[in-house]
Amino acid sequence: MEETVRLGIDENGLGPRLGPLVVTAISAEALGTAAEDAPKGAMRARLGDSKRLVGFGDTALGEAWARAIGRRMGIDPASPDALVHAFSLDAPHALRAPCPQEHAEQCWSVTGETFVADAKLVRKVESDLAKLEARGVEVRRVACVVLCARRLNDGVARGLTRFHLDLHAMERLALDARERSGRDVFATCGKVGGFDRYVPAFGPMNGRLHAVEREGRARSEYVIPGLGRIAFVRDADDKHLLVCMASLVGKWIRDLLMARIVRYHREHDSELPDASGYHDPVTSRFIDATRLTRKKRALPDECFERNALG
């Protein structure tokens, strides 16, 4: 049975008011369709939809997957920040490029950051990876795209929505996997927004030859020469091994970066709540409580809160 390059891609943070959108890909060498399976047995306790397995402020499981796969990539990072940058398609200087110099630390300060997953949990995840390999799924790599509030707002100003930006990041990750492997890939992505027809919304793959395999609410799939296949699947983050992993790792990355925003503003008000960035009362209080200090410090709104139209 021939091995193929399989890819699972998912987003975290598509709908919040604060913090980045993180799009994450997990790539694997897989025999047959083994990578298309849902997690089974005891592994279901550690692999599935991140919304089911972890909550805000409790992302040790996602960190464990990130560290375990990072080791397979030959990465032994000294810090969470080093691991995130090792995964990112964009170099540190590119990620910081939109930042006002005096406020770059809002998103990029690493003060106080440490790994929180204990060694036992990381070993369990490494054992899960070994079991998957025995079943014909050899996980090879994590890659991610981080889109901060400023980049999301700039996209809205160009007439795009967060759904377009999410899709374009998924395209970048799929094309990167194809370039790195030198072989066609089969990418499975979580469904983006309410799209059924993706080709008109393509960005990096815009204008490429394509064949439509199917388009619908549950699944939209395309064959694209020079890439392979890409499918957008409803509920993939709970039913597809690699998409599940991507969801968990991306959740860890997003929460890590959101925590930096909270710490930055707590330097001026230690009583600020621990905001998730989502549409909830705590985040609303956080936004209201920082309004005056943000104005005094001349922090651009575009670098803090997402445009509601996005």
Q: DSSP string spanning 107-136? A: HH--TT----S-HHHHHHHHHHHHHHHHTT
Q: Which two tokens stand for residue 7?
A: 């890819």
Q: Which two tokens stand for residue 199?
A: 């080709």
Name the residue among 16, 32, 287 with its Cα closest to residue 136.
Answer: 32
Q: Which residue's entry shows tokens 């939809």?
A: 49
The CA-atom distances, in angstroms, between 260 and each of 19, 149, 206, 253 are: 9, 13, 35, 11
In the sheet with 211-214, reading across from the earlier edge strand, the strands are 137-147, 21-31, 3-12, 185-190, 228-233, 219-224, 211-214
CB neighbour burial string for 139-170, b if at least 16 within 10 angstroms, e if fewer:
bbbbbbbbbbbbbbbbbbeeebebbbbbbbbb
- Per-residue confidence at 49, pLDDT binned at 50, 70, 90? low
Q: How high is the pLDDT of residue 76?
A: 86
Q: Which residue's entry shows tokens 């790539």?
A: 27
The pTM assigned to this predicted structure is 0.95
pLDDT score of 78 more than 60: yes
d(CA 125, CA 238): 17
d(CA 94, CA 156): 20
Average pLDDT over residues 128-147: 96
Q: Which two tokens stand for residue 221?
A: 């799939």
What is the enclosing helix (H) or strand (E) of 167? helix 162-181
d(CA 162, CA 166): 6
pLDDT score of 2 more than 70: no
189 vs 239, residue with greater confidence? 189
> In sequence order, which residues have a C-beta less than 8 Å from that of residue 179 and are 6 or more positions away?
none
- Per-residue confidence at 56, pLDDT binned at 50, 70, 90? low
Burial of 129 (0-12, 13-18, 19+ CB in 10 A): buried
58 vs 279, residue with greater confidence? 279
pLDDT score of 1 more than 60: no
Please tell me whether residue 74 adopts helix, strand or coil conformation: coil
Q: How high is the pLDDT of residue 195?
A: 86
Q: How high is the pLDDT of residue 109?
A: 96
pLDDT score of 248 more than 60: yes
Q: How high is the pLDDT of residue 238?
A: 85
Mean residue pLDDT across the chain: 93
Q: Using CA atoms of 226, 178, 30, 81 in order, give the dihedral in degrees to the nearest 10.
A: -160
Domain 3-260 has CATH 1.20.120: no
- Kindly report the number of other CB atoms within 10 A of residue 271's CB atom: 6
Domain boundaries along the sequence of the chain: 3-260
pLDDT score of 50 more than 80: no
